[in-house]
Amino acid sequence: MNLTQRRPQSGFGFLLTGFVVVLAVRFCSVANAADPLASWNEGPSKKAILEFVAAVTDQNSKDYVEPSDRIATFDNDGTLWVEYPIYTQFLFAFDRVKTLAPQHPEWKTRQPFKGALEDDMKAVGASGMKGLMEIVMATHSGTTAAEFEQEVSNWLATTRQSKFDRLYTELVYQPQLELLAYLRANGFKTFIVSGGGIAFMRPISEKTYGIPPEQVVGSSVVAEFQMKDGKPALVRMPKINFINDKAGKPVGIYQHIGRRPILAFGNSDSDMQMIEYTMAGEGRRLGLFVHHTDADREYAYDRKSHVGTLDKALDQADANGWVIVDMKKDWKSVFARR
Amino acid sequence: MNLTQRRPQSGFGFLLTGFVVVLAVRFCSVANAADPLASWNEGPSKKAILEFVAAVTDQNSKDYVEPSDRIATFDNDGTLWVEYPIYTQFLFAFDRVKTLAPQHPEWKTRQPFKGALEDDMKAVGASGMKGLMEIVMATHSGTTAAEFEQEVSNWLATTRQSKFDRLYTELVYQPQLELLAYLRANGFKTFIVSGGGIAFMRPISEKTYGIPPEQVVGSSVVAEFQMKDGKPALVRMPKINFINDKAGKPVGIYQHIGRRPILAFGNSDSDMQMIEYTMAGEGRRLGLFVHHTDADREYAYDRKSHVGTLDKALDQADANGWVIVDMKKDWKSVFARR
């Protein structure tokens, strides 16, 4: 801008400029004041969240928490995305059994691999947790870290969920995406703390949830640093490193994050310890569970479910001050908008 | 402000306001353009850093890296703070042996505890790595996570290093603080990746280095979720969980960060695997070692040192394109300004 050629603005012009600025600021405030949790219906759950965030971010509140301590942890399966009727990662494992079968002719006759190859979920189920772990170990190891990441990315980019015929990354809950964004806008650092495999979530966590890989805590296999084809590589071994579930969740939080969350969100009894640990800290805390009550828009299951059992936590919620989020009542929409 | 009572500003006043704004902007630009690595002398090390950061942050460069992939990892002992003549954490452990001695009368006659109680470092040293681990296990477990954090914080807030008579948190390297800040200003996420205990660094990492606890990767003991005095707590167990050293460093990076760094900085042969792993990724990479060459301002040691041995890495640096930072030549000042 050449100032010498610019016509000096009149006093009225200056006032007008000021008015426009005030108007712009006012307009932006209104825009920011738009409901950040638009997919949450008014009710006790939404109220509890809004009041909690207001309290811990208000410097004049007795409940104020420094931004660096605003740690929020979310379970993944059933809390951020669909887990019913079967955990996504197990489906990935069964598909990988099929992919790897030519290298393992013995699987044709050996359970639980035979069951996985024949889509015989009863046979797989009959092998129990031991059988499932055998499948997970066989399908989640033997590759480099980079190769496994690519396998997961490819699978999640192409495999559709049976009931909804959508990619799993499209079956994430819109109200939770809004909550994650709302927390981050209020200075929170958001983490996934899941019983699922850390390497299964990381390839999609940033794009899907805005949560970078280093803020994902999960179960893992042992990895080894080796030379492979003359290049240093991390090789995934057929051995459990850590199970980040139940009482493992607070441990995973300690080892990985090193700070106690002030908000934790789960959906099953497996999340109780994470939420107990969160609530036991000093100052104001918030613990929440998704209750899957919506057979029409998603699924309805709780006390006697084969995945995501919500039973003890339902009984203890009131006494412990935990918020039970009723999917049917509390969520205006369920899945992420496409 | 009551606009009706305000005298409309003259045209000249408006121009003047504009001039002041332009001046202020210009001044700020100059301030930002001040040398971000002021404590680094001009030379090949500083040049390598500046050129690397310029290349990976320039969207028109073939070496451009998205901000989310700008991961930088730093060893701690000898790379960010003093490690000579003995790792700080071992001194903490020896002091804790003295604190805990009344509960362990047998230590008076049993090595390596006897040696630690009598400041007989020869006796402690004679017990080898096995003895040192025995001391670390006895002094780093048996408390809750919160209690241990408090112990570490108290010790680091009061204990002075022998040669410099300063707190250990004051014996951090000024050029490295500038480098950490410079990297962050250029969109990098900075991590500590140390052989030291994760719980020993976290209490001071944010205040000292601007690195939050969740961006610290280190060695750890097993932790258990238990009820203690009727409250859920994490209890530190006398059992190694993970040794984040040598070939453990790339593994720690994988499990904790989940992305390969593009810049890694160490100071000893124990950092070679971290730097090899970093350099083996695609695209432009930078690997650096601090070479302790300054007996006057700090210490001079390398090939045959009892801590922070820099030997193989010195021999392989040229062939591998690693940058050897010569403390005496490359650093204008050594310690953080008080």
Q: What is the DSSP string of B185-202?
A: HTT-EEEEEEEEEHHHHH
Interface contact B223, partner A, CB < 8 A: yes
Helix (H) or strand (E) holding B90, with range, is: helix B88-100
Beta carbons of B14 and A14 less than 8 Å apart: yes
What pLDDT sits at residue B279? 97
Which positions in chain A touch B273 (Cβ < 8 Å)?
225, 232
Output the six-digit token pair for A183.
């927390």
Beta carbons of A251 and B223 less than 8 Å apart: yes
Q: Measure B250 CA to nearest chain A CA, in Å.
A: 7
What pLDDT sits at residue A201? 98
CB A288 within 8 A of CB B260: no
What pLDDT sits at residue A20? 47
- Choosing among B5, B17, B251, B277, which should be mutated to test the A contact, i.e. which has the most A CBs within 10 A? B251
Interface contact A243, partner B, CB < 8 A: no
Q: Which amino acid is residue B13, in one-letter code?
A: G
- Residue located via tokens 């080894």: A224
Q: For residue A66, count other CB atoms closer than 10 A to its CB.
A: 9
Of B184, B191, B179, the C-alpha closest to B40 is B179
Interface contact A198, partner B, CB < 8 A: yes
Beta carbons of B68 and A212 less than 8 Å apart: yes
Confidence of residue A33 (pLDDT cuts 50, 70, 90): low
- Choosing among A221, A224, A243, A251, which should be mutated to test the B contact, i.e. which has the most B CBs within 10 A? A251
From the list B8, B191, B255, which residue is nearest A11 (CB)?
Answer: B8
Which positions in chain A touch B19 (Cβ < 8 Å)?
3
CB A150 within 8 A of CB A306: no
Average pLDDT for chain A: 92
Residues paired with A326 in a beta bridge: A291
Percent of chain A with pLDDT over 90: 86
Residue of chain B whose Cα is closest to the Cα of A5: B15
**Lowest-confidence pick of A225-229, A263-267, A295-299, B153-157:** A225-229
Q: Which amino acid is residue B1, in one-letter code?
A: M
CB B193 within 8 A of CB B73: yes
From the list A3, A213, A241, which residue is nearest B15 (CB)?
Answer: A3
The b/e string for A9-31 (b: 16+ C-beta within 10 A; e otherwise) is beeeebeeeeeeeeeeeeeeeee
What pLDDT sits at residue B228? 87
From the list A8, A198, A257, which residue is nearest B11 (CB)?
Answer: A8
Which positions in chain B touch A216 (Cβ < 8 Å)?
258
Confidence of residue A209 (pLDDT cuts 50, 70, 90): very high
What pLDDT sits at residue B229? 85
Q: Which amino acid is residue A191, in one-letter code?
A: F
DSSP state of B300: B
Coil, helix or strand at residue B91: helix
Task: Compute the average pLDDT of residues A137-149.
Answer: 96
- Using the predicted structure, report yes or no on whether residue A27 has a pLDDT greater than 70: no
How far is C-alpha B98 from the chain's CA centre?
27
Residue of chain B whose Cα is closest to the Cα of A227: B277
Percent of chain A with pLDDT over 70: 90
Task: List the strands of the sheet with A216-228, edge to edge.
Answer: A231-242, A216-228, A189-197, A71-74, A263-266, A286-291, A323-326
Task: Compute the average pLDDT of residues A1-12.
Answer: 42
Dist CA A174 CA A209 (whole Å): 10
3-class secondary structure for chain A? Answer: CCHHHCCCCCHHHHHHHHHHHHHHHHHHHHHHCCCCCCCECCCHHHHHHHHHHHHHHCCCCCCCCCHHHCEEEECCECCCECCCCCCHHHHHHHHHHHHHHHHCHHHHHCCCHHHHHCCCHHHHHHCHHHHHHHHHHHHCCCCEHHHHHHHHHHHHHHCECCCCCCEHHHCEEHHHHHHHHHHHHCCCEEEEEEEEEHHHHHHHHHHHHCCCHHHEEEEEEEEEEEEECCEEEEEEEEEEEECCCCCHHHHHHHHHCCCCCCEEEECCHHHHHHHHHHHCCCCCCEEEEEECECCCCCCECCCCCCCCCCCHHHHHHHHHCCEEEEHHHHECCCECCC
What pLDDT sits at residue A329? 98
Residues of chain B short of pLDDT 50, as ranges, are: 1-32
Dist CA A94 CA A121 (whole Å): 10
Contacts of residue B146, defined as CB under 8 A and 6 or more positions apart, other chains included, come to: B233, B234
From the list B14, B224, B258, which residue is nearest A251 (CB)?
Answer: B224
Interface contact B5, partner A, CB < 8 A: no
Coil, helix or strand at residue B73: strand
Which positions in chain A touch B277 (Cβ < 8 Å)?
225, 232, 234
DSSP state of B331: B
Peptide bond into B213 cis (omega under 30): no
What pLDDT sits at residue B11? 47
Dist CA B183 CA B54 (whole Å): 11
Output the six-digit token pair for A1.
């801008």
- Using the predicted structure, report yes or no on whether residue A72 has a pLDDT greater than 70: yes
Beta carbons of B213 and A257 less than 8 Å apart: yes
Helix (H) or strand (E) holding B266, with range, is: strand B263-266
Beta carbons of B280 and A206 less than 8 Å apart: no
A-B contacts at Cβ under 8 angstroms: 112
Beta carbons of B9 and A10 less than 8 Å apart: no
Dist CA A114 CA A101 (whole Å): 10
DSSP state of B69: G
Output the six-digit token pair for A88.
């996504």
What pLDDT sits at residue A126? 93
**Lowest-confidence pick of A10-14, A179-183, B150-154, B166-170:** A10-14
Q: Measure A39 CA to nearest chain B CA, in Å.
A: 29
Dist CA B205 CA A20 (whole Å): 45
Dist CA B42 CA B253 (whole Å): 32
Beta carbons of A11 and B12 less than 8 Å apart: no
